[in-house]
Each structure stands twice: as C-alpha cells, then as structure tokens.
Amino acid sequence: MRRPNRPKRPEAGLTLVETAIVICVVGSVLAIFVPSFLDHLRTSKVEEPPLVLGELHDRLAAYYEARHEAGRHCLPEAAGPAPMDTRESAEAYDFHANDVPGRATFEAIEFTTERPLRFRYEVIPRRAACGVTIDPGHILFTVRATGDLDGDGVFSSYERRATVDANGRVIPAGILRMTDPME
C-alpha cells in the first residue's frame, strides 16, 4: 500500500530573498543613523564653550556693574588660560586651585563651574583697574575658549566680547566668534 505524498513542511529559517531584504533594511537604517550619531558626538564636544563663555561673561558683567571703591566700575586682572592644557575627554576643573593662572580673578568674579571641561578659558580685560570708563561700542573685555578636541594640534577657538550700552550696562559685543569650531 502506497502512502499519499504529503506536502513537506517548510523548515524554519529565512529564504535567500528574505535574508537579502533584512540586510537591505538594516543597512538602510545604519546608513541613516550612524552618520547622525557621529555628528551628534562631534557637536556635543563643542556645546561646552558657548555655555561656559556665557557664564564667564555674566560673572564679569556683574563684577563690572557692581560698585566698588568710591562707587567706581572695576575690571579684574587677566586670567588663564585655565586649565593649562586641553583635553580630548571632559574633566572637572577647579578654577580656585592655587596653581591656576589668574586664580584671584576667577575668585573675584565668583566663577566656578561643575561642568566637565575640554577647553581652556581666558579672561582678557581691556584694562584691569577701577574707574574704568568706556564709550559704548568699544570692547570692555573678551572671554576666550581654545581647545584641541582630537589631539591633532589644530585648535578650535571661541570668543565672546562685551561692551557697554548708553546706560553703562554690559552687553555682548556682536556674536560669538568661532574659528575652526569642529577642527
């Protein structure tokens, strides 16, 4: 007695066409998201300078606008670069440590940050003294950040400058200046 031919059950697994489709879908997803992810990693490193420079600008503006001896405006001495070297990975830094160039200035303007840093920062006053007066539109001080994010010797540089308005309030002088921001 013969047994009728039963259809074979398909074996578990993917056919060649199904495998090719899966590979195409995965490749397409990677082609879209990997460059975006790498770009995000690169730009996350350059988010630090505008934020820290903004904090430095605000602290210096508050220091200048506060009335010091005999009610005069004052600017502190130049400070930095601090930290002395730049880093490929972000690290915490104490601007009030004894070996920091311009530590007295960072203390006077009460500047500190909890943010891990990759860049080094400088404070550059037009003239460090009390009784500083300046015409609106002229540079009062500059804060600068420089960093070598990938260790190739090419530095990114960011600068924020400040001036005073007609009422003597400190305001930003133009836009944030950037040189080789993603070096």
Please report the beta strands in the chain, taking only residues with DSSP state E, as ranges in sequence order. Answer: 74-75, 79-82, 120-125, 129-130, 141-147, 156-164, 170-172, 177-179
- Report the predicted TM-score, pTM, of the whole model to 2 decimal places: 0.75
Euclidean distance between the first and final Cα of the chain, in Å?
A: 82
Query: Tens of pLDDT along the chain (183 residues)?
Result: 566 676 666 667 778 888 889 899 988 888 888 777 766 666 666 788 999 999 999 999 999 988 766 778 889 999 999 998 877 778 889 999 999 999 999 999 999 998 889 899 999 999 888 888 888 889 999 999 998 877 788 888 999 999 998 888 899 998 889 888 776
State the pLDDT at residue 34.
78
DSSP 8-class letter at 2: P
Q: How far apart are CA 173 and CA 160, in angstroms?
A: 8
